[in-house]
């Protein structure tokens, strides 16, 4: 007997629209609820049954960045648990938990892409040159280290992101002008007045008071984060944008531009999406973008479906991969349209169930 299972959250769009895709393909997908994990996982008989498993991200409600750190860490533990479970070798994963975990680590993802010669948004390196990770617990103010690194590398504007974050959680766009010592910071993170902890909000704010800016930057640098160059993004009708592509089975199933009136383009921030075909990009640029998306997806053969965020540099439109996501398949413009992404996943499941070889 073979079963198609989604480990996810039954009431979410991800689950609902995968089920719709499955229905269309004539297969049935069962949902194991993350809230009952690991009991429900242990009760599943992986030894006796043939199982195709898709893992969705769990739902998190916290907006406190420290708390998000803990939740991601717990989630990584769960992915390890699945990967190490006795039945895991018999499971066919849509995306292997180890691959999903690897993409949760932005630095690791970037390192592998660079090794493969794929253009990425470059990291700012610390003085030792070994890593962009500004280390937790250093006595020396980390912001000072960062400012020195920025001057040394003539990178006067950077993005600082929690290494394991998702969405715009905690992301800071930071700019520094060394001559007069001016600073500017754009972020959705805000300090909770009562506790001083950084919390994520849905509003992009701009700060320029150097003391305040440095204190907020220091707060993020003290967590595990990645610092990378902030390249001026391409612009369309007065909005800057980046691209989100969903690559499945080596095909680009969806590509969306995320337009923004501020430097942070995540769609959760009331920014607006636009079909990439409406940008009027030349076929040469489109083909370059598609090529690096396929190459990037190819770096993780254990992942059949990946989300790829791509930046086009303003002016030259040179593409660079910003980050990737092993669970970046929820695109509202798709589910409310053709539902192509989940339909393809359902077709993969069907082919697997019919004994056909899938990539």
Looking at 156, 222, 285, 339, which residue binds other proteins (CB under 8 A)? 156
Residue 108 CB neighbours (<10 A): 14
Is residue 272 a contact residue for other proteins (CB under 8 A)? no
Query: What is the nearest approach in angstroms of other proteins to the Cβ of residue 173?
Result: 8
Output the smallest distance, CB 176 to other proteins, in A. Answer: 9
Helices 210-221 & 142-152, crossing angle to 10 degrees?
Answer: 100
Which of 345, 250, 233, 255 has the alpha carbon at shortest distance from 308?
255
Structure token digits, residue 248: 């499945």
Looking at 76-142, which runs of residues are DSSP E strands? 91-93
Indicate the length of the chain as a whole number.
359
Neighbours of 271 (CB within 10 A): 19
Residue 262 as a binder of other proteins (CB under 8 A): the answer is yes
When asked if residue 263 is in the footprint of other proteins (CB under 8 A), the reply is yes
> DSSP characters for 336-353?
TTT-HHHHHHHHHHHHHH
In the bound state with other proteins, the residue whose beta carbon lies nearer, of 126 and 240, is 240
154 binds other proteins (CB under 8 A): yes
Kindly state whether residue 315 participates in binding other proteins, applying the rule CB under 8 A: yes
Q: How far is the CB of 100 from other proteins (least distance, A)?
A: 31
Max CA separation in the chain (angstroms):
70
If you compute the radius of gyration of the chain from its CA atoms, what whole number of angstroms results?
A: 21
By CB under 8 A, residue 61 contacts other proteins: no
* 270 contributes a contact to other proteins by CB under 8 A: no
- 3-state DSSP percent of the chain in helix, strand and coil, to 5: 35, 30, 35
Burial of 349 from C-beta contacts in 10 A (0-12 / 13-18 / 19+): buried
Q: Is the dihedral of CA 298, 116, 308, 312 positive or negative?
A: negative
- Stretch of 33-41, 92-100, 137-145, 312-320 lying at the interface with other proteins (CB under 8 A): 312-320
Closer residue to other proteins in complex, CB, 180/359: 180
- Compose the 157-186 pattern: x for residues touching other proteins by CB under 8 A, - for all others: ------------------x-x-x--x-x-x
Antiparallel, parallel or unpaired: β 251-260 and 2-8: unpaired
Q: How big is the site for other proteins, counted in residues (CB under 8 A)? A: 24
> What's the CA gap between 254 and 130, in Å, rounded?
36
Identify the bridge partners of residue 50 per DSSP, sorted by sequence position: 2
In the bound state with other proteins, the residue whose beta carbon lies nearer, of 129 and 238, is 238
**Can you say whether the dihedral through the CA atoms of 74, 32, 96, 347 is positive or negative?**
negative
Tell whether residue 84 is a contact of other proteins (CB under 8 A). Answer: no
Judged by CB under 8 A, the chain residues 232 through 251 that form the site for other proteins are: 232-233, 235, 240
Answer for which of 208, 270, 287, 291 binds other proteins (CB under 8 A) is 208
Closer CB to other proteins, 36 or 205, in the complex: 205
Q: Note whether 316 binds other proteins by CB under 8 A.
A: yes
Smaller CB separation from other proteins, 117 or 315: 315
Quick one: 22 or 311, whose CB is closer to other proteins?
Answer: 311
Q: Which of residues 11 and 151 has its CB atom nearest to other proteins in the complex?
A: 151
Instruction: By CB under 8 A, name the binding residues for other proteins.
Output: 154, 156, 175, 177, 179, 182, 184, 186, 206, 208, 229-233, 235, 240, 262-263, 313-316, 318
């Amino acid at each position: 007997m073979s079963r198609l299972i989604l480990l996810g959250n039954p009431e979410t769009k991800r689950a609902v629209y995968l089920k719709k895709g499955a229905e269309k393909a004539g297969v049935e997908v069962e949902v194991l609820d993350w809230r009952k994990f690991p009991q429900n996982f242990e009760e599943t008989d992986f030894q006796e049954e043939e199982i195709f498993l898709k893992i969705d991200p769990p739902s998190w409600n916290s907006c406190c960045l420290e708390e998000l750190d803990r939740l991601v860490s717990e989630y990584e533990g769960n992915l390890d648990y699945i990967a190490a479970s006795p039945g895991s070798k018999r499971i066919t994963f849509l995306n292997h938990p180890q691959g999903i975990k690897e993409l949760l680590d932005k630095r690791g993802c970037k390192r592998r892409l660079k090794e493969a010669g794929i253009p990425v948004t470059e990291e700012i390196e610390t003085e030792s040159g070994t890593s962009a990770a500004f280390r937790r617990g250093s006595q020396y103010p980390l912001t000072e280290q960062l400012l020195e690194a920025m001057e040394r590398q003539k990178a006067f504007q950077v993005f600082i992101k929690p290494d394991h974050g998702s969405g715009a959680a905690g992301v800071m766009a930071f700019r520094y002008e060394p001559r007069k010592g001016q600073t500017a910071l754009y972020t959705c993170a805000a300090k909770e007045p009562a506790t001083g902890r950084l919390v994520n909000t849905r509003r992009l704010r701009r700060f320029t008071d150097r003391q305040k800016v440095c204190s907020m930057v220091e707060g993020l640098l003290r967590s595990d984060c990645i610092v990378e160059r902030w390249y001026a993004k391409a612009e369309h009708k007065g909005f800057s944008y980046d691209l989100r592509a969903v690559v499945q089975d080596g095909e680009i199933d969806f590509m969306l531009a995320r337009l923004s009136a501020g430097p942070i383009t995540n769609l959760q921030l009331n920014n607006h999406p636009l079909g990439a075909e409406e940008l009027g990009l030349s076929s040469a640029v489109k083909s370059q973008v598609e090529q690096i998306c396929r190459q990037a997806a190819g770096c993780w053969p254990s992942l059949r479906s990946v989300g790829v965020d791509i930046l086009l540099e303003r002016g030259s439109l040179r593409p660079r991969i910003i980050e990737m996501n092993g669970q970046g398949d929820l695109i509202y413009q798709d589910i409310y349209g053709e539902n192509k992404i989940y339909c393809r996943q359902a077709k993969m499941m069907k082919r697997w169930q019919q004994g056909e070889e899938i990539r």
